[in-house]
């Protein structure tokens, strides 16, 4: 009997312990616990619903300087071409006679004047030839004096009829021959002296020695280059322009030249335009004249020329910073009816100097366009323009303008 009661009590205790574990783990819920859980869940859901009803979307606020409207303006066109600077006044000093270069008193960078002696060439053969021609000249002069005396004597004899008229004519012919020989000897001497003077090298123009081709002691031949002299007071830019653009240019048109290595652009004018197209490149040569009074520029420097072409049409323009590009498509961000809208646009002429471009399609004069490109913009987001203030609350949704 006692064993039966003990066995039954043990079963009851095991059942009670198992029920407690089930209730604690949540596998078994009592009606009171279920009701309490339902009450807590309802209260929590009600709190979340109330918070969602109170939360509202904050509009993006832009200050006036961040929003622009398209304006009508005239955008000048530009024609660009490049090339090296050249010195049109360039002279090559050549040897006018063959011989040994005795001296050359100038080097690269030396400044020379027109007519200045640059060097000398030894002309030993010409010097001996000059002495020979001088002796010949003296001989012919003496022969002429003798012929004049003989003819004067013959004239006196002919007057007294001691000689025949034919003898007098022969005497006159001999005098003319002696006079002609004297003139020929003088011409030969002058020619030889000219060749002797060619042994002295003279500067043909004023300028700077750009290159010295030989050194003293070398043997030079006829017409061999000795030195190159350039005048840097006036330079030219030789460039090529396409055939579709050359019709917009004309001689005398002002251009702006940016020379490599020089901070400030240089003013110039179109000097001439080639009359024919170059067969290889299908372009036309254009030459720009540049004044270089201080000789700051040097021949050979690379330069870029930009010619401004006037515009006589009012165009719808925007700042270049307002137009972005995605996958090759230009676009702008607008504020329309209080929300952001992304609009594709078609651009035309550009003015790099003023930072503006022409918009052919996509906006109107009344459009409100974001003046800069912002990150994290979303189409359809609420946006408004507010007065400028020191600390805007949510200007551009804390977006930062980016420069691309």
Give pLDDT, residue 290: 93
Q: What is the pLDDT of residues 225-281, one digit of tens each?
A: 999 999 999 999 988 888 888 888 889 999 999 999 888 899 999 999 999 988 888
Residue range 54-110, pLDDT digits in tens: 456 788 888 888 899 999 988 887 888 889 999 999 999 999 888 889 899 999 999
The answer to whether the predicted template modeling score (pTM) of the entire model surpasses 0.75 is no
Would you say how long the chain is, in residues?
404
User: Beta-carbon neighbour count of residue 62 at 10 Å?
Assistant: 24
Q: What 3-state DSSP class applies to 365?
A: coil
Stronger pLDDT, 36 or 69, i.e. the higher one: 69
Given 3.40.50.300, 3.40.920.10, 1.10.287.470, 3.90.550.10, which CATH number is that of 124-196? 1.10.287.470
- Give the span between the Cα atoms of 66 and 373, in whole angstroms: 10
Angle at 290 between CA 288 and CA 294, to 5 degrees: 165
- How much is the pLDDT for 90? 93
Give the pairing of strands 383-385 and 60-62.
parallel
pLDDT band, very low/low/confident/very high, at 378 (cuts 50, 70, 90): confident
Position 55 scores a pLDDT of 56
Q: Coil, helix or strand for 354?
A: coil
Positions of CATH 2.40.420.20 in the chain = 62-75+313-402
Contact 60, 394 (CB under 8 A): yes
| Alpha-carbon span 86 to 96, nearest angstrom | 27
Instruction: Please list the residue range(s) of the chain that carry CATH number 2.40.30.170.
Output: 79-88+231-309
Measure Cα distances from 132 to 123, 144, 180, 189, 192 in Å.
Answer: 14, 19, 19, 9, 10
Q: How many CA atoms lie within 13 A of 83 on its CB side?
A: 19
CB atoms within 10 A of CB 129: 18
What CATH fold (topology level) applies to the domain 62-75+313-402?
Answer: 2.40.420
How far is residue 113's CA from residue 382's CA, in Å, rounded to a whole number? 77
Structure tokens at 85: 């600077």
CATH 1.10.287.470 in the chain, residue ranges? 124-196
The CATH code for residues 79-88+231-309 is 2.40.30.170
Q: How far apart are CA 93 and CA 223, in angstroms?
A: 9
Through-space distance between the first and last CA atoms of the chain, rounded to whole angstroms = 97
CA distance 200 to 223: 14
């Amino acid at each position: 009997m006692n064993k039966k009661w003990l066995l039954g009590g043990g079963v009851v205790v095991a059942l009670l312990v198992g029920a407690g574990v089930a209730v604690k783990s949540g596998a078994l819920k009592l009606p009171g616990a279920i009701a309490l859980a339902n009450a807590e869940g309802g209260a929590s859901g009600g709190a979340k619903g109330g918070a969602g009803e109170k939360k509202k979307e904050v509009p993006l606020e832009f200050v006036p300087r961040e929003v622009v409207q398209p304006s009508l303006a005239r955008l000048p066109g530009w024609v660009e071409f490049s090339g090296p600077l050249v010195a049109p006044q360039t002279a090559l000093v050549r040897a006018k006679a063959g011989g040994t270069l005795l001296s050359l008193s100038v080097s690269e960078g030396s400044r020379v004047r027109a007519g200045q002696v640059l060097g000398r060439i030894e002309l030993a053969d010409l010097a001996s030839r000059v002495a020979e021609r001088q002796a010949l000249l003296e001989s012919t002069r003496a022969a002429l004096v003798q012929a004049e005396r003989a003819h004067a004597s013959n004239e006196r004899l002919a007057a007294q009829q001691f000689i025949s008229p034919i003898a007098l004519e022969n005497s006159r012919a001999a005098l003319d021959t002696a006079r002609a020989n004297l003139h020929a000897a003088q011409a030969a001497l002058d020619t030889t002296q000219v060749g002797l003077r060619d042994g002295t090298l003279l500067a043909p123009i004023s300028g700077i020695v750009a290159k010295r081709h030989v050194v003293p002691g070398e043997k030079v031949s006829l017409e061999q280059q000795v030195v190159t002299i350039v005048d840097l007071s006036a330079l030219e830019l030789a460039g090529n322009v396409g055939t579709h653009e050359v019709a917009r240019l004309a001689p005398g048109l002002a251009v702006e030249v940016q020379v490599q290595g020089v901070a400030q652009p240089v003013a110039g004018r179109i000097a001439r335009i080639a009359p024919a197209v170059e067969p290889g490149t299908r372009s036309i040569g254009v030459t720009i004249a540049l004044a270089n009074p201080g000789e700051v520029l040097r021949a050979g420097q690379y330069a870029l020329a930009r010619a401004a072409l006037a515009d006589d049409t009012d165009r719808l323009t925007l700042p270049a910073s307002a137009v972005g590009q995605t996958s090759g498509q230009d676009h702008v961000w607008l504020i329309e009816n209080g929300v952001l809208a992304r609009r594709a646009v078609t651009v035309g002429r550009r003015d790099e100097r003023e930072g503006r471009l022409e918009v052919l399609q996509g906006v109107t004069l009344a459009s409100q366009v974001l003046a800069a490109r912002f990150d994290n913009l979303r189409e359809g987001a609420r946006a408004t323009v507010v007065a400028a203030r020191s600390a805007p609350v949510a200007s551009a949704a804390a977006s930062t303008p980016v420069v691309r």
